[in-house]
Amino acid sequence: MEKVIKIKDIRRDFQLGQEVVKVLKGIDLEIEKGEYVAFMGPSGSGKSTLMNLLGCLDTPTSGSYILNGKDVSQMSDDELAEIRNKEIGFVFQTFNLLPRTTALDNVALPMIYAGKSKEDRNKRAAEVLKNVGLADRMDHKPNQLSGGQRQRVAVGRALVNHPSIILADEPTGNLDSKTSVEIMNLFDEIHAAGNTVILVTHEEDIAEHAHRIIRLRDGMVEKDERKNKG
C-alpha cells in the first residue's frame, strides 16, 4: 500500500524559561493511504503536538516527516502553508468558521488560497455541502446553524480541496451525544469514499470508529492496534 505519512524519530522540545520540555520523544509511524486512524492518550501524552506536526502547523525539533513523498520537516513557512492548503483538511473542536460568512463561503475559503475562480469555488462548495447533508443551509451563517450543522460546514471546508488527509482534532468535543453519532457517521462515509482520516480523541466510543488506534503516553507510542473490520 502507498504510504501517505512516514515519520521517523520525530522529537519536539519546547523551551519554557530555563527548562527544555521534551514533549515527543522519538516517534516512528507510517500511515497508509485510505487508513482510518485515531490517536488517543491522556492529557500531556503528546497527541495534540503530534497532530500539529502531522498537520504542518508546527515543525519537529528533529526527525523526518515525509508526506506523500515530500520531506516537510525541512520546509519553509510558505511551503508549509501551501502543503496545508492542498494536502490537509482540518476539522477542529471549535469549528473555526467565519461568523459573518455563509456556509457556502466558509466552505469555499480554502479554494481562494488555492487560486480557484469564483465560479469553480461556488460549484465545488455547493457540491460538498450537499454531500455533508446541508444542501438547504448554504446561505445560512454560523449563528443560524446548530452545533452539528456547524461541524458539517467545517467538515465540508476540510474536504473542498480534495486533500490527501482529513485531520480531526476532538471533532465531537463540543457536541451532544446524538449529534456526535451523526458527525462520526459522516466521518465513516468520508473514509468509505477513500479518504485517509486521522482523528485525535480522548473518548473510546469515538476512537472505535477508526480501524487503527494509536495510544500515546509520555511522548511515545505505547500501543498501536489494528482492528479487523468485517
Exposed/middle/buried for 122, CB within 10 Å: 0-12, 13-18, 19+? middle
Q: Please, where are the H alpha helices in the chain? A: 47-54, 77-87, 103-113, 118-131, 147-159, 177-192, 204-207
Distance CA 196, CA 178 (A): 24
∠ CA 84-85-90, nearest 5°, is 65
For residues 216 and 39, is the Cβ–Cβ distance under 8 A?
yes
Listed by start position, the domains of the chain span: 34-60+76-226
Would the pTM count as exceeding 0.85? yes
**CATH dotted code for 34-60+76-226:** 3.40.50.300
pLDDT at 230: 45
Written as tens digits, the pLDDT of the chain (230 aa) is: 789 999 999 999 999 999 999 999 999 999 999 999 999 998 889 998 999 999 999 999 999 999 999 999 888 989 999 899 889 999 988 888 999 999 999 999 988 888 899 999 999 999 999 999 999 999 999 999 999 999 999 999 999 998 989 999 999 988 899 999 999 999 999 999 999 999 999 889 999 999 999 999 999 999 999 987 54
* Joined grid coordinates for residue 99: 461568523
pLDDT of amino acid 173: 87
pLDDT of residue 73: 87
| Residues 6+ positions from 149 with CB-CB distance below 8 Å | 134, 137, 140
Q: Residue 59 is which amino acid?
A: T
User: Counting runs of H as helices and runs of E as strands, what totals does the chain give?
Assistant: 7, 10
